[in-house]
Copies of this chain bind each other. A is one copy, B any other.
Amino acid sequence: MTDPTPLPGFHDVLAAAARIAPHAHVTPVLRSRALDAMAGCELHFKCENLQRVGAFKFRGACNAIFSLDEAEVARGIVTQSSGNHGAAVALAARLRGGTATVVAPHSTPKVKQAAMLGYGARLVHCDTDQASRDAATRAVLDETGGVLVHPFNDARVMAGQGTAVLELLREVPGLDAVVAPVSGGGLLSGSCLAAHGVDPGIDMFGAEPEGARDAYDGLAAGERITGRRADTICDGLRAELGTLTFPVLREHLREVLLADDAAVVAAMRLVWERLKLVVEPSAAIVLAVVLARPALFRGRRVGLVLSGGNVDLDALPALFAAS
């Protein structure tokens, strides 16, 4: 019997790279001598904040939506998102000539809501917990007959997200380790598939907020944790691992590293000041975890995925005050 949801592999990442190439940016990799000195290692930042819609999410959404046939696109795309994936789906749907409906928590930052609307999405609001998100999403699917492009628990999305690390490893051969944020696990599992396919010796790390540590605890316990309420400034990292991302991480991930919100905000300031890049808290966490564990990275060549740059500038003073 065929598994109805086979896990994606390295070949899917390669196929995704080819599929999204006409639409996605090849983002630059930047460095900072000052940050290298602070971290005691060589840091190579993959700038997905410079990706279309300001986040890596465009890769996965683009791969998924450009994998659909015309009839599926015509039914309309439906997804749930705290912001970046919704914007990515809206843009990719528009590029395919389709429409998108995004189920978004009330707490979604204004800048991200505006972006989704700007790309032509219809927004449906819901509460922040996963059960509310899922219920609202089911209701929209029933109502519209649309096609679901899940933000992370989708093999095409996972493979698409993996193309960022594929590019990183092509531009900077010989990395010893790669660190990517983990929320639902789409980016991190895709990154694992890409890195494993290029060089199985690369150490893969996830960066997760203390206040949303389901991946840390779940991978330690050997089973997915669901139903917790996330409490973190990282608005893009409040989801829980999915049934497809969990097994990929179990197989390929070396460790999940945790950071509290104060460390995330401090790292965000460093990225703004030293790399001159606008990144959101959910992206800056990769630097926070590396700075917190110097022994793990000392002298090594480390790739870090700066996952996005969509932050409310008006909320900035409050954000910095939170540190």
Residues of A participating in the B interface, judged by any CB pair closer than 8 Å:
28, 30, 49-50, 54, 111, 269, 272-273, 275-279, 309, 313-314, 316-317, 320
Contacts and interface: CB of A to CB of B under 8 A. Distances in A.
The 10 closest A-B pairs by CB, nearest first: A276-B309, A276-B278, A49-B276, A317-B317, A272-B278, A28-B28, A50-B276, A278-B278, A54-B276, A316-B316
Contacts of A273: 111, 278, 313
A280 B317 CA distance: 17
B313 A320 contact: yes
A265 to B, nearest CB: 11
> What is the oligomeric copy number?
2
- Is the contact region of chain A dominated by helix, strand, or loop, or is it mixed? helix
Nearest to A318: B317
Given A28-B28, A277-B278, A278-B277, A272 B313 contact: yes
Nearest to A55: B276
17 contacts: A49-B276, A50-B275, A54-B276, A111-B273, A272-B278, A272-B313, A273-B278, A273-B313, A276-B277, A276-B278, A276-B309, A277-B278, A313-B320, A314-B320, A316-B316, A316-B317, A317-B317
Nearest to A28: B28
Contacts of A54: 276
Contacts of A276: 49-50, 54, 277-279, 309
A115 to B, nearest CB: 10
A269 B313 contact: yes
Contacts of A314: 320
Contacts of A277: 276-278
Given A50-B275, A269-B313, A276-B309, 15 more contacts: A28-B28, A49-B276, A50-B276, A54-B276, A273-B278, A276-B277, A276-B278, A276-B279, A277-B277, A277-B278, A313-B320, A314-B320, A316-B316, A316-B317, A317-B317
A278 B309 CA distance: 11
Contacts of A269: 313
Nearest to A111: B273
A91 to B, nearest CB: 10
Nearest to A33: B52
Nearest to A308: B276
Contacts of A317: 316-317
Contact of A50 (B30, B316, B320): B30
Contacts of A50: 30, 275-276
A19 to B, nearest CB: 21
A111 to B, nearest CB: 7
A278 B276 CA distance: 5
A274 to B, nearest CB: 8
Contacts of A316: 316-317
Among A54, A269, A276, A313, find the residue whose CB has the most chain B CB atoms closer than 10 A: A276
A99 B303 CA distance: 35
